[in-house]
Structure 1
C-alpha cells in the first residue's frame, strides 16, 4: 500500500499525537508499505527528509498566536500560506496514495487532504486525539459552536472513517460529530515499547538535585485541560507526611495557573519546572520517579500510558471502562482518581509512598497491561488491517 500519514503535529515537535503519527508511519514502512508523512513546518526542521524508512514533507506554515485557550499549543497552519493547496495536491498526485491516515479533526492539513481524498476518491482514516472541551463556560460554548458550525460539517463533507482512542472520545464523537459503530474503529493509543527498552540517557535525580527524596514526575504540556492544579492542591497533605517530596513538571507551560496556586498554598518550592525535554530523555524521567501523575483533570493519554509501560506507578483519572476491550482494575493494574479531586490524589500518593512493595507490584501490572493492549506493533497491525479493508471496499465499489 501507499499510505499518507497527515498531522500538523509531527517530530521534532513533542506531544502524544505527534509521536503516535510518527510511530505508526514507521511501523507502516517497516511492514513493507510506501509511506509519505505530510506535516506543517516547525522550528528548524527540514522541509523534507527521510527518516525511519519513510519520507517526511513539511509544508510552509503560519504560527497561530497563543490565546490562552485549552488547546493552546504553538500551533502552525499551512492552508493560509500561498501556494500550499497547489503544492499539496501536486505532492499527493505524484505519490498516488491508496489511503490517507489523518490525525486531528480540527487541523487544516486534515481538511486539505480530506478535500483531496474526496476529489480523488481515496479512502481516509481519521484519528481523534484532542477533544474541544473546557471547564471555562465561555470557552466551552465557543468550542461547541466551532464543532457544530465548522468541524462537523467539514467531516460530513469528507466522510472519513474514525479511529477513536477511548470512551471519553467515543462519547464526545457521538455527541458532537454523530459517529457510530458503522463508521468508527476503537483502537487504543499506540505506545512504543522498544523506546523504553533503550539505555537511559541521563541521571535525572542528579541533574535536578533531587537526591533520594520522594519524586513525583508530571510529564506533558501544561494546558487548561491538564492544568496540574489537583496535584498542587494535594501537595500540602503530601508534604506534611513526606516533607522532602519534589515534583518535576516536564513539558511546555502554556497555562501557569498551577504555579500561581502553588504560591498561594506555600508549596512552590516543591515544584521544579523543566520545560519540554527530548523524546529520548523521557524514559529517564519516568525511571527516576517514584510516582508519575499527568492526567488529573479527566483522561489517560500517551504520557500516562508510557509511564505505566516504563514500570513506574502512574495515577490517572478515567473510568475503568475507558478503553473498549481493555479491562482496567483500580488498585490492581491501574491507579485511578476522580477528575479534579485533590484529596484523592493526596491519599493515593501518600498510600503509594507508604507502601513501596505495593507501589512496585501495581507498577509491574500496569506495565504488563500496556504492553499487551497498547503496544505499537499490536495497534499498528489493527490499523493496517483496517486500511486494507477500506482500499478493498473502494476497489470493489
Structure 2
C-alpha cells in the first residue's frame, strides 16, 4: 500500500501525536508499505527529508501569534500560505496514495488532505488525539463553539473513518461529532517499545540537584485537559510527610494555572519546570522518578503509557474500561485516581512512597501490560487491516497521472 500520514505536529516537534504518527509511519514502512508524511514547517527542520525509510515534506506555514493568555497553543497554519493547496495536491497526485491517515481533527493540513481524499475518492482515516476541553468556562465555551461551528461541519463533509484511542475520546466524539460504531475503530495508543530499550541519555537527578529524595515526574504538554492542578493541590500534604519531594514537569506550558496555584499554596519551590525535551531524553526522566503523575484530569494518554512501559509506577485518572478489550486493575497494573481529585492523588502518592516494594511490583505489571497490548507492532497491524478493508470497500476512482 501507499499510505500518506498527515499531521501538523511531527518530529522534531515533540508531543504524543507527533511521536505516534512518526512511529506508525516507520512501522508501516517496516511492514513493506510506502509512506509519505506531510506536515507543517517547524523551526529549522528541513523542508524535505528522508527519515525511518520514508519521505517527509514540510509545507510553509504561518505560526499563530502568542497572545499572552494563560493558554497559548504553539500552532501553525499551512492553508493560508500561497501555493500550498496546489503544492499539496501535486504531491499527492504524484504519490497516488491508496489511503490517507490524518492525525488531529482541527488542523488545517488535515482538512486540506481530507478534501483531496474526498475529491479523489481515497479512503480517509482520522485519529482523534487532542480533545477541545477546558475546566475554564470561557475556554470551554469557545472550544465547544469551535467544534460545533467549524470542526463538525468540516468532518461532516470529509466523512472520514475515525480512530478513537480511549473511552474519554469515545464519549467526546459521540457528543461533539456524532460518531458511532459504524464509522469508528477503537485502537489503543501505539507505544514504541524499542525506544525504551535504548541506553539512557541523561542523569536527571544529578542535573537537577535532586539527590535521593522522592521524585515525581509529570511529563507531557500542560494544557487545560492536563492542567497539573490536582498534583499541585496534593503537594502540601505530600511535603508534610516527605519534605524533600520534588516534581519535575516536562513539556511545553500552554496553560500556566498550576504555577500560579503552586505559588499560592507555598509549594512552588518543589516544582522544576523543564519545558519540552527531546524524545530521546524521555526515558531518562521516567527512570529517575519514583512515581509518574500526568493524566490527573481524566484519561490515560501516551505519556502515561510510556511511563508504565518504562517500569515506573504511574498514576492516572481513567476508568476500568478505558481501553475496550484491555483489562485494567487498579492497584495491580495501574494506579487509578478519580479525575480532578487532589485528595486521591495525595493518598496514592503517600501510599506508594510508603511501600517501595509494592510500588515496584505494580510498576513491573504495568510494564508488561503496556508491552503486550499497546506495542507499536500490535497497533500498527490493526491500522493496516483497517486500511486494507477501507481500500477494498471503496469505490474505485481512475488514477491520476503521476510518478507511479
The bucket for the TM-score relative to the shorter chain is: over 0.9
Compute the TM-score of the two structures, normalised by the length of structure 1: 0.98
CA distance in 2, matches of 1:285, 1:85: 41
CA distance in 2, matches of 1:300, 1:101: 23
Secondary structure of the corresponding residue to residue 171 of structure 1? helix
Aligned runs of 1:199-348 on 2, under 5 Å? 199-348=199-348
Aligned runs of 1:56-75 on 2, under 5 Å? 56-67=56-67, 72-75=72-75
Q: CA deviation at 1:15?
A: 0.3
Task: Give yes or no for contact 1:8–1:76 (8 Å, CA) kept in 2.
Answer: yes
Q: CA deviation at 1:72?
A: 3.8
Alignment correspondent of 1:143: 143
Q: CA deviation at 1:69?
A: 7.3
Task: Give yes or no for contact 2:70–2:256 (8 Å, CA) kept in 1.
Answer: no
Q: CA deviation at 1:202?
A: 1.1
Q: Does 1:162 align with 2:165?
A: no
* Higher relative contact order structure (alpha carbons within 8 Å, sequence separation ≥ 6): 2
CA distance in 1, matches of 2:152, 2:224: 24
Q: CA deviation at 1:346?
A: 0.6
Gaps of 5+ in 2: 398-404
Task: Give yes or no for contact 1:68–1:254 (8 Å, CA) kept in 2.
Answer: no
Q: CA deviation at 1:23?
A: 0.3
CA distance in 1, matches of 2:145, 2:85: 27
CA distance in 2, matches of 1:156, 1:255: 30
CA distance in 1, matches of 2:68, 2:385: 40
CA 1:369/1:71 → structure 2, altered by over 3 Å: closer, same or farther? farther
CA distance in 2, matches of 1:20, 1:235: 32
CA distance in 2, matches of 1:209, 1:89: 52
CA distance in 1, matches of 2:323, 2:58: 33
User: Which stretch of the first structure deviates more once superposed, 196-205 or 387-396?
Assistant: 387-396
Secondary structure of the corresponding residue to residue 163 of structure 1? strand
Task: Give yes or no for contact 1:68–1:255 (8 Å, CA) kept in 2.
Answer: no
CA distance in 1, matches of 2:121, 2:40: 24
Secondary structure of the corresponding residue to residue 324 of structure 2? coil
CA deviation map 1:113-171 (0-9, x unaligned): 11100111110000000111111222222222211121111111111100000011111
Task: Give yes or no for contact 1:5–1:21 (8 Å, CA) kept in 2.
Answer: yes
CA 1:144/1:43 → structure 2, altered by over 3 Å: closer, same or farther? same
CA distance in 2, matches of 1:282, 1:320: 27
User: Which stretch of the first structure deviates more once superposed, 129-138 or 107-116?
Assistant: 129-138
CA distance in 2, matches of 1:317, 1:71: 22
CA distance in 1, matches of 2:356, 2:42: 42
Task: Give yes or no for contact 2:127–2:164 (8 Å, CA) kept in 1.
Answer: yes
User: Which stretch of the first structure deviates more once superposed, 254-263 or 373-382?
Assistant: 254-263
Alignment correspondent of 1:81: 81
Compute the TM-score of the two structures, normalised by the length of structure 2: 0.96
CA 1:145/1:35 → structure 2, altered by over 3 Å: closer, same or farther? same
Q: CA deviation at 1:396?
A: 6.9
Task: Give yes or no for contact 2:235–2:346 (8 Å, CA) kept in 1.
Answer: yes
Q: CA deviation at 1:66?
A: 3.2
CA distance in 2, matches of 1:72, 1:374: 31
CA distance in 1, matches of 2:212, 2:56: 43
CA distance in 1, matches of 2:66, 2:168: 26
Q: Does 1:54 align with 2:51?
A: no
Q: Does 1:104 align with 2:104?
A: yes
Aligned length in residues: 397
Secondary structure of the corresponding residue to residue 42 of structure 2? coil
Q: CA deviation at 1:179?
A: 0.8
CA distance in 2, matches of 1:280, 1:221: 16
CA distance in 2, matches of 1:70, 1:125: 33
Q: Does 1:115 align with 2:115?
A: yes
CA deviation map 1:24-63 (0-9, x unaligned): 0000111111100000000000000000000000000001
Q: Does 1:35 align with 2:35?
A: yes
Alignment correspondent of 1:390: 390
CA RMSD, Structure 1 to Structure 2 (Å): 1.3
